[in-house]
Structure 1
């Protein structure tokens, strides 16, 4: 009960400050949205869908490396439909949905859970690396302090021990197959491709360089990932993005860009989940005919 109250309180505070920021810069925010065109939004949405596909292939690679290969259609349905749970308060809904849908395809619950939780360190480590490379050492050199943590997060031996410890605590059976270095590197490549695509999506709605947009999105997303109590990092990611965009945009335009980016990603999530669900359903209907 206490944890739920903390999450709800944090979410209300984040949304409250967000609403105040928008209201205080209302004219500039409206002007920022007015600058956007439908081709810009369409390009941003297309890039977001590519980025979401990158995330799906990251997860699918991990699941396959752990011993449960799924077809693209199967993986897309489990991943995209399950990911809609991230918009519900609490961090457990996406993994619970993926565990249940994966079980219908013969994937053990423990393996689905392991693949889900492995996504976080891979995305966080790769996102911080992208930030270091793209945003410059002078302003974000403090991220170098996180390099040891990044390397630990990407070491399969360490990760396998952590997963084993967690499964023992939960009184679950250990994984039949440990994560391999090849699987980790392949997943990392897909994650990096996803960051680039997300940067392209921001580039379509922000008047700034592509490299800068890739880093700005990666940093703001990583800060959102580290905020577990807020559904999908709501509010935190936008605040971080406004701060990162401050050198190249006025505050109102930065707020408009952050809000627009959030909306485009939500639409992308819905599109991917809808298409994946329909494709999987048609496959089942064809197989039963």
Structure 2
């Protein structure tokens, strides 16, 4: 195991790993270049720029949410170090397998004397917080969407109480302790607090609102009315589609599931065609945000290592 870890920590291996992740992310865009080009042509240029900016802010919100959790279970990590670890590791999620962002976060954290189990738990918790806050916002879609929506996705409302209870620090700390014990790992440096968990949830919710704003803005230029109800519907619809796509684990990356859920939510506000367009662009913009922030963080990390 020590030999494997030493190989993973080698600068050449890290650089190659980052390069592969960036190539995988870019390929995800290039593979759909014709559809992306057509989608971009359907929107004013400034709307696309605004969409990219909102994706950058969204990724930043997820980083802050993760950092609150990371700092809550151990010694505080400086903001610049947290940014380098998170943004660089997030690019790895575009590699096949779905675990490489966890590996990258653990190894980069270890280079800054952060226990691997702490990095792993913090990243896993940030995903759980994102899912639960997404479920809560998805209620907006169930309440404001078409009448038949509750029949198809009402089961999500049943998951909300379970998720909220699981996020209560005393409950969550016991779950974490039990999980680490089963895996034969030591306990974390500290336990989650109400403040840390609450702030992480608030920043995760802010991220959902930003993505809802992105979707809403693009849909306005696809024929949807510009109003507060449609903004709430778009935000709730995005959260619903994302959480359904994540929870329906037997569909790779939620492909198709998110689009179907979002189209069902917005069926009374806009056609299914525009929904497909904006969902595609939203994914592209988020990928661009992940890659650009990851590259900048990687460059900053290499410069810091040379000092």
| 1:96-154 Cα distance to aligned partner (Å, 9 max, x none) | 11000000001001111110111122111111111214652664482432232122222
Distance change >3 Å, CA 210–CA 182, structure 1 → 2: same
Which residue among 38, 57, 62 is the counterpart of 1:50?
57
User: Which residue does 1:215 correspond to in 2?
Assistant: 236
Mean CA deviation greater in 125-134 or 191-200: 125-134
Q: Is the 8 A contact 1:125 1:153 kept in 2?
A: no
Mean CA deviation greater in 263-272 or 130-139: 130-139
CA distance in 2, matches of 1:99, 1:222: 25
Which residue among 272, 283, 290 is the counterpart of 1:251?
272
Q: Note the C-alpha offset of 1:222.
A: 1.1
Structure 1 unaligned spans of 5+: 1-14
User: Which residue does 1:153 correspond to in 2?
Assistant: 166
Q: Is the 8 A contact 1:82 1:98 kept in 2?
A: yes
Mean CA deviation greater in 230-239 or 259-268: 230-239
Alignment of 1:275 onto 2:291: no
CA distance in 2, matches of 1:114, 1:122: 12
Q: Is the 8 A contact 1:82 1:95 kept in 2?
A: yes
Q: Note the C-alpha offset of 1:40.
A: 0.7
Number of aligned residue pairs: give it. Answer: 262
Which residue among 121, 139, 159 is the counterpart of 1:114?
121
TM-score where L is the length of structure 2: 0.77
User: Which residue does 2:178 correspond to in 1?
Assistant: 165
SS in 2 for 1:206: helix
| 1:36-72 Cα distance to aligned partner (Å, 9 max, x none) | 1211110011011101100000111000000132222
SS in 2 for 1:215: helix
CA distance in 2, matches of 1:269, 1:239: 25
Mean CA deviation greater in 66-75 or 227-236: 227-236
Alignment of 1:124 onto 2:135: no
CA distance in 1, matches of 2:103, 2:293: 19
Structure 2 unaligned spans of 5+: 1-27, 225-229
RMSD of Structure 2 on Structure 1 (CA): 2.6
Greater length-normalized contact order (CA 8 Å, ≥ 6 residues apart): 1
Q: Note the C-alpha offset of 1:283.
A: 3.8
Alignment of 1:86 onto 2:107: no
CA distance in 1, matches of 2:263, 2:285: 16
SS in 1 for 2:97: coil
CA distance in 2, matches of 1:30, 1:61: 38
Distance change >3 Å, CA 63–CA 259, structure 1 → 2: same
